[in-house]
Structure 1
Amino acid sequence: MHERVYQVLEFDKVKQQIQNYAACSLGRERIAELVPCERLEDAEAELDMVDEALQYLYRHGSLPFGGITDIRSAVRKAAIGGVLSAEELNRIVQFIVGARRARQAIEHAAEEGAFSRLADFVQAFYDARQLEVDIRQAVSEDGTLFDHASPELRRIRTSIRQLEGQMRRQLEQMLRTHQRYLQDPVIAVRGDRLCLPVKVEYKSQVPGAVHDYSASGATVFVEPQAVLESGAKVRALQAEEEREIERILQALSALVAAAAEDLLENVRRMGLLDFWFAKAAYAKSQRCERPRLRADGVWRLIQARHPLIDMETAVPVDLTLGDNYRMLIITGPNTGGKTVTLKTVGLLTLLAMSGCFIPTGRPSDIGWCDQIFADIGDEQSIEQSLSTFSSHLRNIVEMLREVTAQSLVLLDELGAGTDPAEGAALSMAILDHLNRWQCRVVATTHYAELKAYAFQEPQAMNASVEFDVQTLRPTYRLLVGVPGRSNALAIASRLGLSNAIVERARSLLTTDDVRMEELIAKMEQARHEAEALRREAAEEHAKVSRLRAELEAEWNDLTQEAEELRARAEREARDIVRRAEREAERVIQELRQLRDAAQVKDHQLVELRKALQNALPEDAPKRRKKSSVATGEISVGAQVRVLSLGQKGEVIEKSDDGRSYTVQLGLLRMKVDAGDVELLGQPKPAEATQSFRRGMPKSMPLQLDIRGTTVDESIPTVDKYLDDAVVHGLARVTVIHGKGTGALRDGIRRYLTRHPHVKSWAPGGPGEGGDGATVVELK
């Protein structure tokens, strides 16, 4: 790719934007060197890594890059035998720690089954933990060497501290004994010597070496003779310390040199990680989409934006190239956005081929090309005596030498800068030549002849940038399939130019020009009408979609509710069956006990049979069916079936209008609608006058024993017992529930409180069972 293409398409400016998202200098260096990949497969692989980095950013945030710096110079220095400083060794340790943190973060995230490419990439990192330990055992984080870096260094530093301590004690003693000779009672340091500030007139009173005078000359700094020898020993030990430090640093540098190749590979990989994550962060901030690279040379951009225009104000562009046509001729007024569209196509192509996501509203297609040629802008040069036309033509000549079928050619203001007739002819000839090469071309122009050329050439398509004549402002919308109008006369009229002049100018236009303008005007009107219809259809479609979504939501709610009801019904049915089984088992056990004891009494068998019947689940309402008995008027005493209950009974009363009946169902009497009754048999004459009490038991117990049952099991028994008591006209009965834990007692009493037959209840008195029984007063 020619360097000039990067300049005119402002590729470097976009790279600077991406660099702002890099975490370290390694990533910024990679971005500065960013160029399109040589093969489509390489670009796809790059997009795969950026895609995973973007997913990581959305799920886990930024990758930790703390401590990552460029250590290549230090590593190479060690590799050629140089001695690294403590600061350089510290930076190597920080890099090792930072690279390990980044690797571990990706490996931890990959445990969920994602980021397989990034995980494979960091698996190849060299584990330099041992080198880190070796350096950290000798070098502190502030760049000094520990005393335990070597036994010799510990011995030297211990000796130095002992001698310095001895010297300070001697000087502190002299401060007390020679106080009258001293300017100040302090120990002063001159160079690396410990001195006393002696008054100049008493310098002979303190024997030793003079190292300095004060600015006023009133004070002389003397190193006393008593510490001179110790000071010399300290300096000798300090020289030994420096040699030992040098030896330790040399040994550590040798360890770095041994791992130099692996460390440099880690540096390269960390630079790539920062490179990919910077691309991903840029894509996230600009709301970019991954491009689909196509080897067949087809561009299909959907809501594409120029990366250097603020995304809140940029007008998206929809554009197709290379599918049904290979050349796009864009016309329209100046400042309408033609050049921006041209640059958008070229710049997004460069980004996609460089493995970057592109700012489009939806995933878009980018045709893979071997070269991008761009002639954009006014490049006239006074120094080279080149006019605008000459500079454009020189660029086009260079293009035509190198263009291939896989090239993308961007031409701005084709044929401008010379005679319009000759410029238009030359432009069409250039387009014909490029068409023969079958390359992809996007060109902007003002020539009406090129609009006609696009109509006549099957591989060319007209496009225009929209202009609002009412406001005299461009809308920056690209309209593919519609040629642009110059709008010069309309603009002149709107700006106040005399109507006579405007009409005179219109009369000077050729017939072909007028027809072309009228045709374009009609096409624009038709497009506006079609756009209005499209908006109306879109609104209707949105309304239908909304209604459909609401109906689907309601249906889902109903389905879920039905499922919940079914599940609850199944649970209740299982509970009823379990209770029935338990009650049946209890009755069987009690019958066996009574049988074994040979104490079976009639009333006990009746009560056990009733308990067993009450434990059975109620039948589901049966479907009404036509009576098998001949239809006729149902009279009092007739045998009928109540369809809603599935029970047989006897009609004991009939309403005056014949719409309802009072039916005796065993001991229960209820009023039912005529439509809920099925005639089973008419009464016999002798039976019609019999009392409905003929099916009642001859005796009714005054007490009910429900001990040993649960609340749920006993309530149906108590309810039936109370019904029987009311039918027999009893005013007072007793329910025996026992004391136990009190759960059965409390449950039965709560039930009696709201029972319609119960007037009041009270615990049993003396001789009535006490709190183990409840005496019930009936209404």
Structure 2
Amino acid sequence: MNTKVLKTLEYHKIIDRLTELAGSTPGKELCKNLLPSSDIEEIRMLQAETSLALSMLYQKGHVSFSGVTNIRGSLKRLEVGSILSPAELLAICRLLEVTNRVKAYSRKENSEEEPNALDVMFEALQPLTPLANEIRRCLPSEEEISDDASPALRSIRRAMRQMNDKVHAQLNSMVNGSAKAYLQDAVVTMRNGRYCLPVKAEYRGQVQGMIHDQSSTGSTLFIEPMAVIKLNNELRELEIKEEKEIEVILANLSGQAGVEQEALESNLTLLTKLDFIFARAQLSKSYDGSEPVLNNHGVINIKKGRHPLLDKKTVVPIDIRLGQDFDLLIITGPNTGGKTVSLKTVGLFTLMGQSGLHIPAFDGSELAVFDDVFADIGDEQSIEQSLSTFSAHMTNIVSILKEANERSLVLFDELGAGTDPTEGAALAIAVLSNLHRQGIRTMATTHYSELKVFALSTPGVENGCCEFNVETLRPTYRLLIGIPGKSNAFAISAKLGLPEDIIEEAREQLSQQDEDFESLISDLETSRVTIEREREEINHYKEEIERLKQRLEQKQETLDASRERILREANEQAHAILREAKEYADTTIKNFNKFGKQGIDSRAMEQERSRLREKMSSVEKNLAIKTQRAPAKTLQAKDLHLGDSVRVLSMNLKGTVSTLPNAKGDLFVQMGILRSQVNIKDLEKIADVETAAPYKHQTGSGKIKMSKSASVGTEINLLGKTTDEAIAELDKYLDDAYLSHMPSVRIVHGKGTGALRKAVHNYLRRQKYVESYRLGEFGEGDAGVTIVKFRS
């Protein structure tokens, strides 16, 4: 990968962010040296590691690698048998403490899960807890060796404290006694590691001892009195013993560390790599990244991609495709509209993906693996080399054309700019045609209309544009593929207040071909907006249908559960009734047997029979369905015709004959919204009953009721009618139904816009003979029907 493109696409800024997230110095070094790879298997491994670490971050939170330092120099010294300093031993201790912490972080609750790549690394960590504890016990800090490091050291230091006390006691007695008059100050001081007294120079003969130093003026001599020389010598001997014992302790600790040299080396390597992996995961988490799907076919399909260096709360996501239906994408649009950001997003995503970093885009985004990425973006003008902007760009383009191949991604910003527009457009077309013939994946931004025509007329080349809102004079930063960008110069100028006559004069300067082309682009833009709006409506309807489907499924599940519960309860009640009946039968038989043996006592038997009858009556009152009465007249199949009004005795409901009886006497009867199969023995013709003798002399009103009962259906269909037509027809129907003594009727009005349903409900609300009304439930027609109940 050429290094120039890393700077052009600001790859180093991503690496700087990554480095900040690493917790250890070796981990930061790995982050700094991260470069894109072109080996797809290596990249997939890096991406998988990042995804696994990101999953752990979301599940378990952050893990710190702070405390890991590069101890390889110390390990080399251990290899040759050297003794490590307290600082080096403490660095090893901190490494082992981090190892223990990271190992604990990796433990899983479910040990049956298959181990992944990170699990293998976590498992290989060796905390070496005894060694860490021993170092920490002996070395509380870099400047201190604990008294508990060894029994000998404890004994030596106890003797040193005692000797110090003796020296101070002897000197204090001299300071406060015989030597007080000869001292410059009444203090005990130390020179060259030995305790001394500050004696005035003129009294040097009065205090016998060894002179170790004198003041800068020569007026004070620091004399070690003869009385404490022996004690100071003994104290110095103890200090030498202490130093030797400390050396023994450090040698012992170094020896223990040397035994675990390989484990320490492995821990350092693993922790550094894990720190690097978790830094990549934290970077992904910071910008809501996802693992891209990698391919070797040059296909790029970025879904809702966001440039990682822009604020994720304000940046507009873009969709970019390249390499499948077309390998050359030409993006047009106004300045500051997001063209360059689109180029940099594709290039930077490619570099990040090939470095094992997640990209800030939706799941399922695809990236191609390229051997090289080339970019000509920004102002390449060079004063030092006496190059104009055009010359600098062309020098870069020449270099790209020499090195690029079918395994390269090429990005051009404002290709052909900086020179005569006609020649610049021709050069741009020639350069792009050359790359297109080689099958090199290329993206270019431009203002030239000639390139728009080139993209429209060349197979494998596609137009794209960055959307611009002329009303607000602001870009939307949305990238639209398949549509060339329209020049908005005239519209923007008019919005900014340029006189209309000047704009008209400018329009006259355009050729008819240019004007027609711009009009075509304008029509395409209008069509795109319309299609997008319709697509949004379709998606809204799809979502609504999906919600309704889920509601229906939930209702069906509720009904199924209710049906199972009702059947279960009914079976339990039936079982209880049967059991109770059996117990009463057994009791009755037992009583009658008793009465038979004792002789017939008719009075007692009558009392028992009355008691059983009362019990049966109380049970009958609790039954949901009473015992049906016998029909007034036994019906034959020939007595029934389609549309005859009948009463279903077992349900005590009126209905209409829907089918004629079969050989077994079964037929279907429509009872309001319920259509049920019954047997002819369970039916009674209503007409026969209502035309019997008691009704022969009824008035005209009674005759109307009879005729209505025979002709009015239990349902009215208002579909396809206007509101006025429907209400007029409904008014007549409800009068007829009420006169026919129907308990309830069903009004079919459909869902539609809801206007007809609203009109029907407003009408029902004003009718005094309507007791209540409601929308249909699941299985009754839902919101498309209304069930009306009349007052009795």
Question: Is the CA contact 1:428–1:450 (under 8 Å) kept in the aligned structure 2?
Answer: yes
Question: Is the CA contact 1:413–1:446 (under 8 Å) kept in the aligned structure 2?
Answer: yes
Report the CA distance shift for 1:290/1:153 in structure 2 as closer, same or farther (over 3 A).
Answer: same
Q: Distance in 1 between matches of 2:105 and 2:387?
A: 58
What is the Cα deviation at residue 375 of structure 1? 1.3
Q: Distance in 2 between matches of 1:527 and 1:564?
A: 55
Report the CA distance shift for 1:599/1:162 in structure 2 as closer, same or farther (over 3 A).
Answer: farther
Question: Is the CA contact 2:38–2:369 (under 8 Å) kept in the aligned structure 1?
Answer: no
What is the Cα deviation at residue 343 of structure 1? 0.3
Q: Distance in 2 between matches of 1:595 and 1:631?
A: 45
Alignment match, 2:29: 29
Alignment match, 2:296: 295
Give the AA of the match of 1:99.
Answer: T
Question: Is the CA contact 1:135–1:252 (under 8 Å) kept in the aligned structure 2?
Answer: yes
Alignment match, 1:358: 359
Alignment match, 1:278: 279
Question: Is the CA contact 1:79–1:256 (under 8 Å) kept in the aligned structure 2?
Answer: no
Alignment match, 2:337: 336
Question: Is the CA contact 1:27–1:271 (under 8 Å) kept in the aligned structure 2?
Answer: yes
Q: Which shows bigger deviation, 3-12 or 208-217? A: 208-217
Alignment match, 1:306: 307
Question: Is the CA contact 2:97–2:127 (under 8 Å) kept in the aligned structure 1?
Answer: no
Task: Name the SS of the counterpart of 1:164 in structure 2.
Answer: helix
Alignment match, 2:706: none
Matches within 5 A, 1:54-69: 54-69=54-69
Q: Distance in 2 between matches of 1:409 and 1:544?
A: 45
Question: Is the CA contact 1:294–1:367 (under 8 Å) kept in the aligned structure 2?
Answer: yes
Q: Distance in 1 between matches of 2:538 and 2:597?
A: 89
Alignment match, 2:784: none
Question: Is the CA contact 1:577–1:616 (under 8 Å) kept in the aligned structure 2?
Answer: no
Question: Is the CA contact 1:594–1:600 (under 8 Å) kept in the aligned structure 2?
Answer: no
What is the Cα deviation at residue 564 of structure 1? 4.7
Task: Name the SS of the counterpart of 1:107 in structure 2.
Answer: coil
Question: Is the CA contact 2:316–2:477 (under 8 Å) kept in the aligned structure 1?
Answer: yes
Question: Is the CA contact 2:299–2:322 (under 8 Å) kept in the aligned structure 1?
Answer: yes
Q: Distance in 2 between matches of 1:232 and 1:109?
A: 63
Report the CA distance shift for 1:546/1:167 in structure 2 as closer, same or farther (over 3 A).
Answer: same
What is the Cα deviation at residue 139 of structure 1? 2.9
Q: Does 1:621 align with 2:625?
A: yes
Alignment match, 1:392: 393
Task: Name the SS of the counterpart of 1:372 in structure 2.
Answer: strand
Report the CA distance shift for 1:575/1:627 in structure 2 as closer, same or farther (over 3 A).
Answer: closer
Q: Distance in 2 between matches of 1:534 and 1:643?
A: 55
Q: Distance in 2 between matches of 1:225 and 1:577?
A: 121
Alignment match, 1:171: 171
Give the AA of the match of 2:540.
Answer: E
Give the AA of the match of 1:129.
Answer: T
Alignment match, 1:140: 140
Q: Does 1:468 align with 2:472?
A: no
Q: Distance in 1 between matches of 2:27 and 2:607?
A: 91
Q: Distance in 1 between matches of 2:151 and 2:168?
A: 26
Give the AA of the match of 1:508.
Answer: Q
String of CA shifts for 1:655-705, please: whole Å, max 9, x gaps.
xxxxxxxxxxxxxxxxxxxx9999xxxxxxxxxxxxxxxxxxxxxxxxxxx
What is the Cα deviation at residue 12 of structure 1? 0.9
Matches within 5 A, 1:51-130: 51-109=51-109, 111=111, 113=113, 116-130=116-130
Task: Name the SS of the counterpart of 1:177 in structure 2.
Answer: coil
Q: Distance in 1 between matches of 2:579 and 2:139?
A: 78
Alignment match, 1:242: 243
Report the CA distance shift for 1:76/1:591 in structure 2 as closer, same or farther (over 3 A).
Answer: farther
Question: Is the CA contact 2:187–2:197 (under 8 Å) kept in the aligned structure 1?
Answer: yes
What is the Cα deviation at residue 452 of structure 1? 0.9
Report the CA distance shift for 1:328/1:135 in structure 2 as closer, same or farther (over 3 A).
Answer: same
Report the CA distance shift for 1:202/1:104 in structure 2 as closer, same or farther (over 3 A).
Answer: same
Q: Distance in 1 between matches of 2:212 and 2:204?
A: 12
Alignment match, 1:482: 483
Q: Distance in 2 between matches of 1:59 and 1:270?
A: 20
Unpaired runs of 5+ residues, structure 1, are 633-640, 646-674, 679-779
What is the Cα deviation at residue 23 of structure 1? 2.4
Alignment match, 1:232: 233
Question: Is the CA contact 1:321–1:327 (under 8 Å) kept in the aligned structure 2?
Answer: yes
What is the Cα deviation at residue 631 of structure 1? 7.0
Q: Distance in 2 between matches of 1:252 and 1:291?
A: 49
Q: Distance in 2 between matches of 1:411 and 1:180?
A: 92
Give the AA of the match of 1:6.
Answer: L
What is the Cα deviation at residue 405 of structure 1? 1.6
Q: Which shows bigger deviation, 489-498 or 598-607? A: 598-607
Question: Is the CA contact 1:67–1:95 (under 8 Å) kept in the aligned structure 2?
Answer: yes
Q: Which shows bigger deviation, 152-161 or 457-466? A: 152-161
Quote the RMSD (CA, aligned, Å).
3.8
Task: Name the SS of the counterpart of 1:119 in structure 2.
Answer: helix
Alignment match, 1:131: 131
String of CA shifts for 1:180-239, please: whole Å, max 9, x gaps.
435665543445222345566655444333445678887654432211112122223323
Alignment match, 1:264: 265
Report the CA distance shift for 1:168/1:436 in structure 2 as closer, same or farther (over 3 A).
Answer: same
Q: Distance in 1 between matches of 2:309 and 2:454?
A: 33
Alignment match, 1:453: 454
Identical amino acids, percent of aligned pairs: 39
Q: Distance in 1 between matches of 2:587 and 2:217?
A: 124
Give the AA of the match of 1:425.
Answer: A
Q: Does 1:510 align with 2:498?
A: no
Task: Name the SS of the counterpart of 2:106 in structure 1.
Answer: helix
Report the CA distance shift for 1:233/1:458 in structure 2 as closer, same or farther (over 3 A).
Answer: same
Task: Name the SS of the counterpart of 1:345 in structure 2.
Answer: helix
Q: Distance in 1 between matches of 2:97 and 2:604?
A: 88
What is the Cα deviation at residue 114 of structure 1? 6.8
Q: Which shows bigger deviation, 150-159 or 11-20? A: 150-159
- The TM-score, its normalising length taken from structure 2, stands at 0.72
Q: Which shows bigger deviation, 344-353 or 183-192? A: 183-192
What is the Cα deviation at residue 542 of structure 1? 3.7
Give the AA of the match of 2:267.
Answer: N
What is the Cα deviation at residue 642 of structure 1? 9.3
Q: Distance in 1 between matches of 2:350 and 2:466?
A: 21
Question: Is the CA contact 1:50–1:280 (under 8 Å) kept in the aligned structure 2?
Answer: yes
Question: Is the CA contact 2:24–2:67 (under 8 Å) kept in the aligned structure 1?
Answer: no
Question: Is the CA contact 1:587–1:608 (under 8 Å) kept in the aligned structure 2?
Answer: no
Question: Is the CA contact 1:110–1:119 (under 8 Å) kept in the aligned structure 2?
Answer: no
Q: Which shows bigger deviation, 166-175 or 611-620? A: 611-620
Task: Name the SS of the counterpart of 2:419 in structure 1.
Answer: coil
Report the CA distance shift for 1:401/1:260 in structure 2 as closer, same or farther (over 3 A).
Answer: farther
Task: Name the SS of the counterpart of 2:358 in structure 1.
Answer: coil
Report the CA distance shift for 1:109/1:627 in structure 2 as closer, same or farther (over 3 A).
Answer: same
What is the Cα deviation at residue 116 of structure 1? 3.0
Report the CA distance shift for 1:91/1:593 in structure 2 as closer, same or farther (over 3 A).
Answer: farther
Q: Distance in 2 between matches of 1:331 and 1:105?
A: 51
What is the Cα deviation at residue 305 of structure 1? 0.7
What is the Cα deviation at residue 552 of structure 1? 4.0
What is the Cα deviation at residue 21 of structure 1? 2.5
Give the AA of the match of 1:458.
Answer: P
Report the CA distance shift for 1:399/1:644 in structure 2 as closer, same or farther (over 3 A).
Answer: closer
What is the Cα deviation at residue 516 of structure 1? 1.5
What is the Cα deviation at residue 123 of structure 1? 1.6
Q: Distance in 2 between matches of 1:564 and 1:643?
A: 23
Question: Is the CA contact 1:644–1:676 (under 8 Å) kept in the aligned structure 2?
Answer: no
Question: Is the CA contact 1:283–1:289 (under 8 Å) kept in the aligned structure 2?
Answer: yes
Task: Name the SS of the counterpart of 1:391 in structure 2.
Answer: helix
Question: Is the CA contact 1:90–1:143 (under 8 Å) kept in the aligned structure 2?
Answer: no
What is the Cα deviation at residue 78 of structure 1? 3.0
Alignment match, 1:759: none
Q: Distance in 2 between matches of 1:266 and 1:568?
A: 66
